[in-house]
């Protein structure tokens, strides 16, 4: 990982120009979290360096060469950081993966390789982070939809289903879809899908199967230490069978596993059918999702 003292930071870019001040932000991030750990408070509500980190490194979904070089530092500090910091890093990296548009690239290959390696590390940590947040009732920092979105984005990137997940918790249940037959776009309201477009039995079965893949992770009795560090043997073994084609089921199963059955049901509705208002062609909502940022 690029040393915080390296002159190469000057060659990297952030939102406001050269990235020579990014090492200072990362030092401040580490210091802030060390103070948070020492005070054993969440630090929620107070002014945080994270506002500056977001505006410099993920500015309205634009990301920069320094973003990718800063992430290994974030993940490294997060490994021994507070839950608050681990959540910040998870959501930051999830947002970069889901929505980030690189401006002023490319990132030098060896630095990109370090980014990828740190992301792999974060994937290993991520289930433990979300489990801890749910168990400690720390969902005020980020709602569960954001956490599930981030969990999936660091694995699969900016799939359309992943990109709309954060909206499902907000009451904004209108999803824009595009007909794969005639190309016409239309809106479908998840609250008002005709019942004959919903195959409840197969949905329930799909969710049940996905919950087996997701595995027990929180709210159950036999949690063990290995799970706390994100290396639960069951969840790892099962996760190899997760797939980007079953994103909806996996996302819903995560929601259910983390205790939000309503959200799980809403996510599963993305597997309902919709009829194109122009040509009457029927397709699955998740296959036609349009999203823009």
Element (H, E) at 59: strand 58-59
39 versus 279: smaller Cβ distance to Zn ion = 279
CB of 108 to Zn ion, least distance (A): 45
Minimal distance, residue 285 CB to Zn ion, in Å: 14
- From the list 18, 113, 279, 290, which residue makes contact with Zn ion (rule: CB under 5 A)? 279
Binding to Zn ion by residue 278, rule CB under 5 A? yes
> Site residues for Zn ion, window 112-171 (CB under 5 A)?
none
Establish if 182 lies at the interface with Zn ion (CB under 5 A).
yes
E strands, 100-202, in order: 101-102, 174-178, 185-189
Q: Which residue has the tokens 């870019």?
A: 13
Question: What is the x/- site pattern for Zn ion, positions 257-276, by CB under 5 A?
Answer: -------------------x
Cβ neighbours, 10 Å, residue 263: 22
CA distance 158 to 150: 10
**What CA–CA distance (Å, rounded) separates 290 from 173?**
13
Q: Which of 181, 238, 239, 273 binds Zn ion (CB under 5 A)?
A: 181
Whether the Cβ atoms of residue 175 and residue 285 lie closer than 8 Å to each other: yes
Cα–chain-centroid distance for residue 49? 21
| Span near Zn ion by CB under 5 A; candidates 82-90, 245-253, 267-275, 280-288 | 280-288
Alpha-helical (H) ranges within 136-244 are: 144-156, 160-164, 200-214, 225-228, 233-239
| Contact characters 210-229, Zn ion, x per CB under 5 A | --------------------
Question: What's the closest the beta carbon of residue 288 comes to Zn ion, in angstroms?
Answer: 9
Which residue number, 207 or 274, has a Cβ lying nearer to Zn ion?
274
Q: Which of 179, 213, 250, 256 binds Zn ion (CB under 5 A)?
A: 179
Q: Is 177 a residue that touches Zn ion (CB under 5 A)? A: no
Number of residues interacting with Zn ion: please give it, by CB under 5 A. 8
- Report if residue 281 touches Zn ion, rule: CB under 5 A: yes
Question: Residue 198, SS3?
Answer: coil
CB of 187 to Zn ion, least distance (A): 14
238-257 footprint of Zn ion as x/- string (CB under 5 A)? --------------------
Question: CB pairs under 8 A, 24+ apart, for 61-64?
Answer: 61/95, 61/99, 61/100, 61/101, 61/293, 62/15, 62/100, 62/101, 62/103, 63/96, 63/100, 63/101, 63/102, 63/103, 64/12, 64/13, 64/14, 64/15, 64/19, 64/102, 64/103, 64/104
Q: Which is nearer to Zn ion, 58 or 276 (CB)?
A: 276
Q: Of the two residues 117 and 279, which places its CB atom closer to Zn ion in the complex?
A: 279
| Residues at the interface with Zn ion (CB under 5 A) | 179, 181-182, 184, 276, 278-279, 281
């Amino acid at each position: 990982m690029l040393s915080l003292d390296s002159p190469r930071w000057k060659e990297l870019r952030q939102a406001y120009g050269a990235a020579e001040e990014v090492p200072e932000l990362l030092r401040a991030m580490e210091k802030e979290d060390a103070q948070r750990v020492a005070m054993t408070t969440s630090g929620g509500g107070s002014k945080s360096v994270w506002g500056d980190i977001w505006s410099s490194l993920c500015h309205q979904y634009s990301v920069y060469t320094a973003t990718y070089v800063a992430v290994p530092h974030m993940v490294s500090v997060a490994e021994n950081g507070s839950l608050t910091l681990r959540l910040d890093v998870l959501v930051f990296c999830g947002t970069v993966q889901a929505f980030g548009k690189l401006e002023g690239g490319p990132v030098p290959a060896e630095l990109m390789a370090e980014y990828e390696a740190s992301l792999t590390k974060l994937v290993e940590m991520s289930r433990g982070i979300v489990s801890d947040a749910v168990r400690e009732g720390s969902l005020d920092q980020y709602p569960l939809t954001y956490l599930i979105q981030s969990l999936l984005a660091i694995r699969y990137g900016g799939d359309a289903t992943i990109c709309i997940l954060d909206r499902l918790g907000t009451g904004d249940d209108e999803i824009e879809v595009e007909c794969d037959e005639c190309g016409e776009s239309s809106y479908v309201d998840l609250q008002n899908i005709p019942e004959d477009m919903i195959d409840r039995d197969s949905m329930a079965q799909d969710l049940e199967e996905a919950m087996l893949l997701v595995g027990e992770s929180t709210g159950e009795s036999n949690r063990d230490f290995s799970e706390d560090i994100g290396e639960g043997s069951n969840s790892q073994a099962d996760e190899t069978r997760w797939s980007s084609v079953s994103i909806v089921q996996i996302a819903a199963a995560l929601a259910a596993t983390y205790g939000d059955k309503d959200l799980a049901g809403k996510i599963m509705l993305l597997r309902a059918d919709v009829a194109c208002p122009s040509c009457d062609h029927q397709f699955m909502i998740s296959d036609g999702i349009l999203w823009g940022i």
